[in-house]
């Protein structure tokens, strides 16, 4: 087995390579640029992997509103390029997607299932949905939607929510965090473990993979400080108070029943347990 991880310098790709060990080959910028169609196909075919995982993405949600072409080139056109390479190799493609594809979720109270129709809002969300449709055109696909990823330091990762909260707390300034967006913050260690498992099942399709439970970003921040034994000047605010260019989902919970129904699926701990595991390993 040789798994090619596209986007190996990011939090998720870096963790996936760590778990696969010598079975993984990583590619990232500048060696591979998903917007270079011919170059990408050439580099993927040259390595002749038995599976490809696409962990690369344009993730600047607000900047995407100003540069939609660039966002689409990575999150959609780049996926089409990988599908072409996988067809030539006749190998599976794992494509990582986002809770954002389901839209704003206002009034929602039950987690989204895999078979529900996405209703993306904003350039980033639309590009991820377009990428999903391209990925699922290849029968040998695993489409994995997740939410609120955070993980260990990685070569091309710019930090995460937990690191930001701890830094702000150390500076002593008041901290305002949104308290009306419901999410399931997910540790890349658990998501990567699930992806590695899925690759061995042959059960192609769409799966939701997130840590269990639900909170808001404010609730997540409160739990970070509680577990770290820190007092911080933390204030809940609304999404409207924190004006941003791109729309944010009010409800992003994903139903993981389909994943857990697979025989031998590694468990996805609660978001509180996942946070404790991360802090024990990675916090400064």
Rounded to the nearest angstrom, the gap between the alpha carbon of residue 284 and the centroid of all alpha carbons in its chain is 23
- C-alpha distances in Å from residue 141, one per residue of 52, 82, 201: 10, 11, 12
Residue of 58, 100, 112, 124 marked catalytic: 124
Give CA–CA dist 215/270, Å, rounded: 11
Task: With beta carbons less than 8 A apart as the criterion, state whether 272 and 143 touch.
Answer: no
Taking the model in full, what pTM does it have?
0.95
Cα angle: 206, vertex 16, 142; to 5 degrees? 15
Listed in sequence order, the residues at least 6 apart from 185 whose beta carbon sits closer than 8 Å to its beta carbon are 147, 148, 150, 161, 211, 215, 220, 271, 274, 275
Q: How many structural domains is the chain composed of? A: 1
Give residue 39's domain range.
Answer: 3-282
Question: How much is the pLDDT for 238?
Answer: 95
Q: Residue 259 corresponds to which tokens in the numbers above?
A: 């994943």
Task: Using the structure block, give the residue that is written with the tokens 């494509």.
Answer: 95
pLDDT digits (tens, 9 = 90+) for 196-253: 999 999 999 999 999 999 999 999 999 999 999 999 999 999 999 988 999 999 999 9
100 is catalytic: no
What pLDDT band is residue 152 in, cutting at 50, 70 and 90? confident
- Which residue in 122, 258, 142, 156 sits closest to 198, CA to CA? 142
Task: With beta carbons less than 8 A apart as the criterion, state whether 122 and 247 touch.
Answer: yes
What CATH number corresponds to the domain at position 213?
3.40.50.720
Q: Residue 217 corresponds to which tokens in the numbers above?
A: 């970003």
| CA torsion through residues 219, 225, 230, 235, sign | negative
């Amino acid at each position: 087995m040789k798994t090619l991880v596209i986007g190996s310098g990011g939090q998720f790709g870096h963790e996936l390579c760590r778990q696969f060990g010598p079975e993984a080959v990583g590619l990232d910028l500048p060696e591979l640029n998903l917007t270079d169609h011919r170059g990408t196909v050439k580099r993927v075919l040259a390595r002749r992997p038995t599976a490809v995982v696409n962990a690369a993405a344009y993730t600047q949600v607000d900047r995407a509103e100003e540069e939609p072409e660039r966002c689409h080139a990575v999150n959609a056109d780049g996926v089409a390029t990988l599908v072409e390479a996988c067809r030539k190799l006749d190998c599976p493609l794992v494509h990582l997607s986002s809770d954002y594809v389901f839209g704003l979720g206002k009034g929602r109270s039950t987690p989204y299932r895999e078979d529900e129709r996405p209703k993306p809002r904003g350039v980033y969300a639309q590009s991820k949905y377009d990428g999903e449709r391209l990925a699922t055109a290849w029968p040998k696909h695993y489409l994995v939607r997740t939410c609120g990823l955070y993980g260990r330091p990685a070569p091309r990762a710019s930090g995460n929510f937990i690191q930001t909260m701890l830094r702000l707390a150390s500076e002593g300034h008041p901290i305002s965090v949104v308290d009306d967006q419901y999410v399931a913050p997910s540790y890349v260690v658990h998501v990567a473990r699930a992806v590695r498992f899925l690759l061995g099942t042959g059960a192609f399709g769409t799966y939701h993979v997130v840590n269990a439970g639900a909170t808001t970003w404010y609730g997540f921040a409160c739990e970070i400080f509680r577990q770290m034994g820190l007092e911080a000047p933390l204030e809940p605010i609304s999404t409207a108070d924190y004006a941003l260019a791109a729309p944010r989902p009010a409800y992003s919970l994903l139903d993981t029943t389909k994943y857990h129904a697979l025989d031998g699926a590694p468990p996805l701990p609660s978001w509180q347990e996942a946070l404790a595991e991360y802090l024990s390993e990675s916090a400064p």
